[in-house]
Chain A
Amino acid sequence: MDVSQYLEIFLDETNEHITNLNTRIMELESDPENMDTINEIFRAAHSLKGMAGTMGFKRMQNLTHDMENVFSEVRNGVIKVNSEIIDVLFQCLDALEEYKDNIQGSADEGTNDNEPIIKMLNAILNEGGKSPAKEVPKHTASSGQEGGNKWDHITLDDSQVTVIREAQKQGKRVYGLNVMVQDSCILKAARAFLVFKAVEERGEIIVSDPSAQDVEDEKFDRDFTLIILSDVELDEIIEASEAVSEIEKVVGAEIDLENNKSAHAVPEEREASEEEENPGEEVQSASAEVPAVSDGQAASAAPAAKTEPKKQAPAKPVVNRTVRVDIEKLDSLMNLVSELIIAKNSLVSVSSQEQTDVNSAFNEQIEYLESVTTNLHESVMKVRMVPIESVVTKFPRMIRDLSKKLDKKMELYMTGEETELDRTVVDQIGDPLMHLLRNSADHGLEPAEVRIQRGKPAVGSIFLDAYQEGNTVVIEVRDDGNGIDVEAVKQKAIERGTITAEQAVNMSDKEIIDLLFLPSFSTAKKVTDVSGRGVGLDVVKSMIESLSGEVEVKSKLGEGSTWTIRLPLTLAIIQALMVVVGEEKYAISLGSIQTLEDVPASDVKLVQNKEVIHLRGTVIPLIRLNEVLDVERKPVDEENLIVVIVKKGDRLAGLVIDELIGQQEIVIKSLGRYIKQCKFISGATILGDGEIALILDANTLI
């Protein structure tokens, strides 16, 4: 059977487990005695092993198997967790990550056996003084005995009995198996399929209750029962079935049709009752069946079964009811919503044009339509939103590694992991954030001795804070390190020929700091493999800008720096102010607009030959849009200028326009690949009357 169709699920889950392991192992480091954490880690490793095994990724399975062994010993208190073990475990995770990447890229796990890691794991085990072999069956065969054995309630027809008898004559054994999936399991049918597959590899399924077809169609509650013929030990089958993830437990026992003595009597009796044409009648009470489990494993399994389900129950958080949806489907849904909004806008413009002869009912309906489309848009947007958690959870681990590598003590504090952003943004925000954190760790924080000299705590702090602010999401990376040495940056820039000494004199500190975002600019005195290769800040800037966001930095020498990233909540539909310049209409995102002003032409002053206005104590440079946009200015009132004050960070500029139209929800469309976009046009939008208005990116004008 083909398991490739489950590759997606496998990858998704592997991802989750690896992330989970990363977080838990971090926790374990700070609290090595926490049994909940240890159990959680054990469970995740166990699930990973099972999944890898089912999918046929043997190397991955081996590695997780050995990890699991170590944890089993930790759980039993044989091994004490120390930082050495944690290091090895992190290496394991990196190796697993590598397998996962290989699988993602080529559906193959690659050829790296990761022997050194496995050796280290075994060394840990041996130090623990016990061989792992003993432990293996303990956790894999956790068959609990609660209630009756369901396979005893299955009625067999004559032909099935014949098949079973025949098989027994050939020395095969008959097992009953009850498989219980977890309550939270979403893809029950898929899990069941994997169990079927695992079982079929080891034997033949004679009866399935509900029928195989029903199981496949997910027509079962939480469990299904199988009667199988097999050559192998029952343990092996149970182990294989339990290895499938989200299977809560598998219970099994051998069924004996021939030697129906004492407790084993049931199947025979049932057979008899069948012959008496009383099908379906349950002859024996369920409880009487318990001793029927004569397998050696039952005894050892019982204690494990008692402890495991209990621990699992509270450890597993309540899972939301979710559906995984391909992002492309959401994109097309979003496009449709966009079309709808354009259509709605045209209706609005028609109704406003012909207000006199359009009756009020029509207007009412349009208003209704407007509110529905707005809500629809919001809902679709929300569907696309995911918490940034998925990206930031890997950072504590990274900082820990950096701390060791750089030999600096540091601690990462994160807040606002639950802040949500568009999925496409979240996918791309990881790298820039990682660069900034590394930058803080490497360049920002001083070595411990220096920190103590300066009267700071020896352990450096890095903060990652995310929060929503209006229509934008702000992510701040802050450190209490040295801050940016403006003089050093200036010297470096002059040295490199980026600026001349004369230019440097006239540049503000902020302008100097902004030089850091230029390509190939690194001030680290020594180049480490953490940062200082000159790829970093410029990449950060361009990546953030490609997401229509912005990044800025504030710094105080000796006290630390704050990097602030601002990202729009949504990429496709924005609220904009519509303006007219010359013959054309333009849209300016409301997010960047501060105020609208009427300015008498006489208030415009010249400073360094540039037009500026004085507004409530601030000098604001004026930008005449008709000049920037190459359009003829309409012969309008020259006495009064309409100025849109836009802001970028804390800088302001006044855009001179000819006419205001008003606020509107617009759908951002690309100008297509044929037109090389000039940088201050961020796209186009289609207005209600079918005309196109270009969208001005005010950020690039300032």
Chain B
Amino acid sequence: MELSINSNQSVLDEEKSRAATEPIQFIVVRLGEEQYGIDIRNIDNIVKMQRITHVPKLPAYLKGVINMRGEVIPVLSIRLKMGLEADEITKATRILIVKLEEEGNVGFIVDEVKEVVTLYETDIERISSDITAEKGSLINAVGKHNGELISIFDLSAVSLEDN
């Protein structure tokens, strides 16, 4: 009897840990020298840099709007948003169309889209909230992949921002 209970317990544990290590795919992008990851489930599309229509009276990091399949989508400069120097547009520059829960789709300008990586929960380290509370921080976790560090975007920080 005892044995069977134990084995049941271990099965449960195994299931739990498997659930916890459900792999998440991240799109890895480059901003300057650093690598950032965005949960692929939040990505709608990746498009080449294009002409952005300027909208007056907006904060500097909001670059304007683009046309995405007939929808008007705001584009923001992640670099300016994080307090880095302005984007340098190159051939590798892309706009990531990100789905936000409340506000709908928003475009992020990134220097380069590198790859898609699969991370397990065990590879991801949450950053304590007092660091993320710091103004302008959009990062809430760091992932490890092949010995490199990938900062993971906290999309709620982007969407909550009152611009």
A contact set with B: CB distance below 8 Å: 339, 342, 583-584, 628-631, 669-676, 678, 681, 684, 686, 690-694
Contact = CB atoms under 8 A, between A and B. Distances in A.
In terms of DSSP, what is the predominant structure of the interface of chain A?
loop
B72 A686 contact: yes
A628 B54 CA distance: 13
Contacts of B70: 339, 342, 686
B71 to A, nearest CB: 7
Interface stretch (B2-10, B57-65, B84-92, B134-142): B57-65
Contacts of B21: none
B104 interface: yes
A681 B58 CA distance: 12
A674 B53 contact: no
A23 B58 CA distance: 52
Contact of B72 (A339, A629, A630, A670): A670
B38 interface: no
B99 to A, nearest CB: 12
Interface of B: 51, 53-58, 62, 65-67, 70-74, 100, 102-106, 159, 163
Contacts of A694: 53, 55
Contacts of B51: 691
Contacts of A684: 53, 65, 72
A487 to B, nearest CB: 38
A674 B106 contact: yes
A339 B73 CA distance: 16
Contacts of B105: 672
A648 B66 CA distance: 31
Contacts of A583: 54
Nearest to A667: B70
A691 B53 contact: yes
A672 B103 contact: yes
B87 to A, nearest CB: 18
User: Taking chain B's interface residues, is the majority helix, strand, or loop, or is none over half, making it mixed?
Assistant: strand
Contacts of B65: 671-672, 675, 684, 692
> Closest 9 interchain pairs by CB?
A678-B57, A692-B53, A674-B103, A629-B56, A630-B56, A673-B103, A674-B74, A684-B72, A669-B72
A675 B62 contact: yes
B137 to A, nearest CB: 19
A675 B55 contact: yes
A675 B100 contact: no
B53 A631 contact: no
22 contacts: A669-B71, A669-B72, A671-B55, A671-B65, A671-B72, A672-B105, A673-B104, A674-B74, A674-B100, A674-B104, A674-B159, A674-B163, A675-B62, A675-B65, A675-B74, A675-B163, A676-B163, A684-B53, A686-B67, A686-B70, A690-B67, A692-B53
Contacts of B53: 584, 684, 691-694
Nearest to B66: A692
B56 A631 contact: yes
A671 B67 contact: no
A671 B58 CA distance: 12
Nearest to B71: A669
Given A630-B56, A672-B105, 15 more contacts: A584-B53, A584-B54, A630-B54, A631-B54, A669-B71, A671-B55, A673-B103, A674-B100, A674-B163, A676-B163, A684-B65, A691-B53, A691-B67, A694-B53, A694-B55
Nearest to A685: B72
Contacts of A631: 54, 56
Nearest to B162: A676
